[in-house]
């Protein structure tokens, strides 16, 4: 089983709560606030590795959660930060939202990217001390994180991609030029997942990928079309392998045009990639005649290399050609994209809606922030809540919306009577 696309669920750690401790010491009266801050929650960190080449592990484990931060404590002791959770993915994995927006491109071996940040720890009560409120008995709660649903999509990273119809000799060619051991048999779709091999040619080396055989309609999802084609996007050169003999009753010129059509329909940008044509199975009947027809039509557009893979004839010429082309190409780059953050910054904004006559609800980021700081059972905390509403312009805006003495105001889970 080869899995190259999977949906998983990730949750960074919650921030620890701040402490509302008051300093107590023998012979010292009226000690001030000494509550420490809560610890930050652990991050969800993705790490790209060449040790994995499929997403199969995520078929069995789909939920990932980092450690919560610890609460602050007395004597200004900070809570311990939650441990980050390292999630290892194959090089070439693209992390997306369920809407298809790119969060990260895990392009390089060893690359680490924070996909979901841990919640910020709440502040201890010492942060809320003022000249008039010298011993606040409330503190701030840590930020509670949300669970995110993300899609992992593996796009194989290779210098060279072998493309062509099933059973034309791609897997055999890869096994001849590298240490890869793909499954080889004389039937279609023997290869159901990309195989990678490192090819050495004198002092040069490059990575070659055997892309499973394509069929007509692959660009529209026929067969395993999209699953196969996504692995071509990262390659720098395409090597189009043809059964030039037409041993399965198809015209190799038609095969060439059909596969190219599927590739370029899937992604027109692939037209920019150099393409080398391997005319394989030259030892079969009709091969010479078909090669002559192919050269006549395409000889001035492509480098065409006749080959008999099983006896390695034409292999050196192919490798020499590939190395020469790679030397002229720029180094591969990661995807060009504007990363989308899963952790939206909460802004201190608010909106007011009159739910019914004399009943007003305040919503928005400001409400979410205040909900972490207010303890309805604590008088100091509620006074702080009222002052923030006034300082942020909520009270004035309520008046503009028609609130008056006795009107009901709802702010999150808090409900109170408006006093003008």
Is the pLDDT score of 349 beyond 80?
Answer: yes
Q: What is the reported pTM? A: 0.71
Q: Using CB atoms within 10 A of its CB, is residue 252 exposed (0-12), middle (13-18) or buried (19+)? A: buried
pLDDT score of 224 more than 80: no
Measured CA angle at 351 (ends 350, 357), to 5 deg:
140
* Angstrom distance (rounded) from CA 381 to CA 33: 14
Q: What is the mean pLDDT of residues 45-69?
A: 91
Assign 347 a pLDDT band (cuts: 50, 70, 90): confident
- Phi then psi dihedrals of residue 313, to 5 deg: -75, 125
pLDDT at 222: 44
- pLDDT above 80 (res 378): no
pLDDT at 56 (0 to 100): 85
Q: Sign of dihedral through CA atoms 399, 405, 406, 410?
A: positive
pLDDT at 178: 83
Q: Mark 169-184 as b/e (b = at least 16 C-beta within 10 Å).
A: bbbbbbbbbbebebee
- Angle, vertex CA 113, rays to CA 119 and CA 270, nearest 5: 135
What pLDDT band is residue 213 in, cutting at 50, 70 and 90? low
Q: List where CATH 3.30.300.350 sits in the chain.
A: 351-417
pLDDT band at 334 (very low <50, low <70, confident <90, very high): confident
Question: What CA–CA distance (Å, rounded) separates 104 from 52?
Answer: 18
In this prediction, residue 287 carries a pLDDT of: 95
**pLDDT value for 87:** 97
Asked whether the predicted pLDDT for residue 9 surpasses 70, the reply is yes
pLDDT of residue 182: 44
* Interval 280-292 mean pLDDT: 95
pLDDT of residue 380: 73
The whole-chain average pLDDT of the chain stands at 85
CATH 3.30.300.350 given to domain 351-417? yes
Q: What is the mean pLDDT of residues 311-326?
A: 94
For the chain, percent of residues with pLDDT exceeding 70: 89
Range(s) of the chain covered by CATH 2.70.210.12: 1-154
pLDDT band per the 50, 70, 90 thresholds, residue 273: very high
Q: What is the CATH number of domain 160-326?
A: 3.40.50.300
Other Cβ atoms closer than 10 A to 289: 12
More confidently predicted of 372 and 215: 372
* Nearest alpha-carbon partner for 95 in 44, 158, 60: 44
Looking at the domain that runs over 1-154, which CATH code has it been given?
Answer: 2.70.210.12
d(CA 41, CA 144): 9
Is the model's pLDDT at 297 over the cut of 80?
A: yes
């Amino acid at each position: 089983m080869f899995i190259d696309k999977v949906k998983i669920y990730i949750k960074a750690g919650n921030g620890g709560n701040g402490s509302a401790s008051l300093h107590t010491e023998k012979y010292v009266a009226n000690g001030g606030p000494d509550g420490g801050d809560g610890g930050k929650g652990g991050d969800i960190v993705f790490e790209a590795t060449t040790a994995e080449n499929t997403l199969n592990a995520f078929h069995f484990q789909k939920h990932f959660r980092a450690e919560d931060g610890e609460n602050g404590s007395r004597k200004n002791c900070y809570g311990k930060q939650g441990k980050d959770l390292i999630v290892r993915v194959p090089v070439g994995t693209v992390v997306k939202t369920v809407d298809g927006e790119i969060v990260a491109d895990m392009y390089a071996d060893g690359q680490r990217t924070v996909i979901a940040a841990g919640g910020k720890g709440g502040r201890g009560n010492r942060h809320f001390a003022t000249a008039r409120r010298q011993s606040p008995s409330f503190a701030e709660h840590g930020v509670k994180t949300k669970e995110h649903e993300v899609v992992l999509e593996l796009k194989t990273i290779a210098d060279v991609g072998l493309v062509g119809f099933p059973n034309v000799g791609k897997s055999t060619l890869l096994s001849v030029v590298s240490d890869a051991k793909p499954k080889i048999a004389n039937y279609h779709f023997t290869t159901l997942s990309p195989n990678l091999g490192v090819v050495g040619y004198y002092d040069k080396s490059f990575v070659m990928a055997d892309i499973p055989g394509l069929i007509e309609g692959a660009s529209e999802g026929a067969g395993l079309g999209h699953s196969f084609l996504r692995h071509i996007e990262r390659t720098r050169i395409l090597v189009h392998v043809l059964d030039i003999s037409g041993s399965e009753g198809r015209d190799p010129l038609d095969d060439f045009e059909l596969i190219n059509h599927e590739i370029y329909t899937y992604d027109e940008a692939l037209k920019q990639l150099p393409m080398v044509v391997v005319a394989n199975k030259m030892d079969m009947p009709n091969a010479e005649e078909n090669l002559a027809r192919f050269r006549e039509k395409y000889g001035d557009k492509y480098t065409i290399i006749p080959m008999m893979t099983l006896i390695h004839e034409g292999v050196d010429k192919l490798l020499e050609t590939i190395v020469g082309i790679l030397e002229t190409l720029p180094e591969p780059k990661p995807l060009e994209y504007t990363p989308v953050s899963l952790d939206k910054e909460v802004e201190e904004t608010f909106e007011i809606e009159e739910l019914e006559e004399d009943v007003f609800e305040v919503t928005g980021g400001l409400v979410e922030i205040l909900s972490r700081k207010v303890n309805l059972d604590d008088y100091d905390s509620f006074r702080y809540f009222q002052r923030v509403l006034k300082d942020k312009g909520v009270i004035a805006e309520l008046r503009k919306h028609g609130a008056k003495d006795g009107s009901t105001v709802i702010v999150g889970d808090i409900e109170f009577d408006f006093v003008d």
